[in-house]
Amino acid sequence: MPAKKTANKTRRPRPAAATHRKGVASRKNRTIPISVFGNVLKQFDTAARKLSLDRSICEFVKIPRRSTIVNLPVRMDDGTYKMFTGYRVQHSIARGPSKGGIRYHLGVTLDEVQALAAWMTWKCAVVNIPFGGAKGGIVCDPFKLSEGELERLTRRYVADMIKLFGPEDDIPAPDVGTGPRVMGWFMDTYSMKENHSVPGSVTGKPIVLGGSLGRNEATGRGVMLSVREAAKCLKLDLASTTAAVQGFGNVGSISARLLHELGVKFVSVSDVTGAIHNPAGIDIPALIKHVEKKKSVLGFPNAKRIEPEEVLFANVDILIPAALENQITGDNAARVRCRIVAEGANGPVTPEADKILERKKILVIPDILCNAGGVTVSYFEWVQNRMAFAWTEEEVNHRLEEKMVAAFNDVMKMARDHDTSMRIAAFMLAILRVVEVVQLRGIYA
């Protein structure tokens, strides 16, 4: 019997269609979608040129190792079957098992998943954890699926890709549109096939299933730590700074809350439903409660509604894009007015925009450093699962801070030594770490 639709289905917010669009570039009055993987290749090539590396090794490390596409039938609540497309891209296993989240979103494409997988390789190398990079995604709108439909979709995805996954092979985690609930189903499906519980098969699980304390907050905490270190470099007193955040999900809301606790005044916030502004400062903990109830930042008391794109151009010290890729592009970067862009999201600034922001002397803390807190604590979760021993939240947060501060300083030193941006410096550091391992292992060709 098909399961009954749950109340969850109606509680989920409906995103505004127009805001689903990811980056486009205008060329001679035509709009062309920006290739996200193309952006990663440009970032890689710029950094690799500065390192004067062997070209054949560069070709080996920059292209994804394996890309898998599956068509997934799912029984819907009304008894019909619907097909969904799922992807898993394993970019690199040079430094360890491949690691990366699973995204549920209507805009998921192979190009996007390849880019996100590649960024995972470079991110894990920047924070120096023993993982390669991967990413997965399913083309779907999770807000329009019931809980039962989401569970069946998740289980079918895991079942179809089961040979790719495993604690020594490829370990997923949450991303946009997924969270601990989906990770719980993932772990259960994988464990059923293995005939015993395998908590290390996935990270970002509910705590009682072997999730790590501090994992839910880890990406936002990493963003906060990166901003704190950047503010020190620019001699900014955080308690007298202002900020804006685009995207108020896991990364956006938690980084805003932690920075708010350090005295940062948030004046503009957006999510997929719209944007709000209050020059006197938005009470972030109250906004988090409002969003929990209303599933939207709109309607928050003492804030006026503004156009969503205004958030990116707010006159603030710190801008945190924490939604999707290609938000700040060659077409709009000139309008960005902050001093620090902290990339909570993956790929929110295109290579063309990077050049413009650099000319404007805006410090961009690149995604592969800024949002690496999530994968760092995912690594801690995997370590705890392997030891069958749980650390305290203080221990997790302390180790995360050590990793993030060390990575920030490594990247900043590279940037200063080579007179380059933090993005290119982060890529240079990561490429050197991956290439060293590849040279020592040798290429089985």
Pick the closer one to ligand NAD by CB: 161 or 372. Answer: 372
Give the nearest distance from C-beta 342 to ligand NAD in angstroms: 11
Residue 109 Cα distances to 67, 155, 157, angstroms: 12, 20, 16
Pick the closer one to ligand NAD by CB: 323 or 362. Answer: 323
Pick the closer one to ligand NAD by CB: 272 or 319. Answer: 272
Structure tokens at 350: 């295109």
Look at residues 367, 262, 382, 377 and name the one whose alpha carbon lies nearest to residue 321. Answer: 367
Pick the closer one to ligand NAD by CB: 177 or 199. Answer: 177
Beta strand residue intervals within 180-300, DSSP E: 242-246, 265-271, 274-277
> Locate tokens 């880019």: which residue?
115
Q: How many residues does the chain have?
A: 445
Give the nearest distance from C-beta 429 to ligand NAD in angstroms: 18
Give the nearest distance from C-beta 246 to ligand NAD in angstroms: 5
Pick the closer one to ligand NAD by CB: 251 or 341. Answer: 251
Q: Please tell me whether residue 170 adopts helix, strand or coil conformation.
A: strand
Burial class (CB in 10 A: 0-12, 13-18, 19+), 52: exposed
Buried b (16+ CB within 10 A) or exposed e, 341-379: bbbbbbbbbbbbbbebbbeeebbbbbbbbbbbbbbbbbb
Give the nearest distance from C-beta 383 to ligand NAD in angstroms: 17
Give the nearest distance from C-beta 119 to ligand NAD in angstroms: 9
Which residues are at the interface with ligand NAD (CB under 6 A)?
19, 174-177, 219, 246-252, 270-272, 308, 322-324, 344-346, 371, 374
Residue 193 annotated among the catalytic residues of the structure: no
A 10 A CB-CB count for 206 gives 14
Pick the closer one to ligand NAD by CB: 230 or 377. Answer: 377
Is residue 353 within 8 A of residue 42, CB to CB? The reply is no
Bridge partners, residue 341, by sequence: 319, 364
Distance between CA atoms of residues 236 and 251, nearest Å:
23
> Locate tokens 């000319």: which residue?
359
Is residue 98 within 8 A of residue 90, CB to CB? The reply is yes
Give the nearest distance from C-beta 135 to ligand NAD in angstroms: 9
Q: What is the DSSP letter of 256?
A: H
Task: Check 123, 135, 205, 403 and give the catalytic one.
Answer: 135
Give the nearest distance from C-beta 292 to ligand NAD in angstroms: 12
Pick the closer one to ligand NAD by CB: 408 or 435. Answer: 408
A 10 A CB-CB count for 274 gives 17
Q: Which residue is nearest to ligand NAD (CB)?
A: 249
**Between vectors from CA 418 to CA 407 and to CA 442, what angle results, nearest 5°?**
65
Pairing of strands 102-105, 81-92: unpaired
**Which residues are the active-site residues?**
135
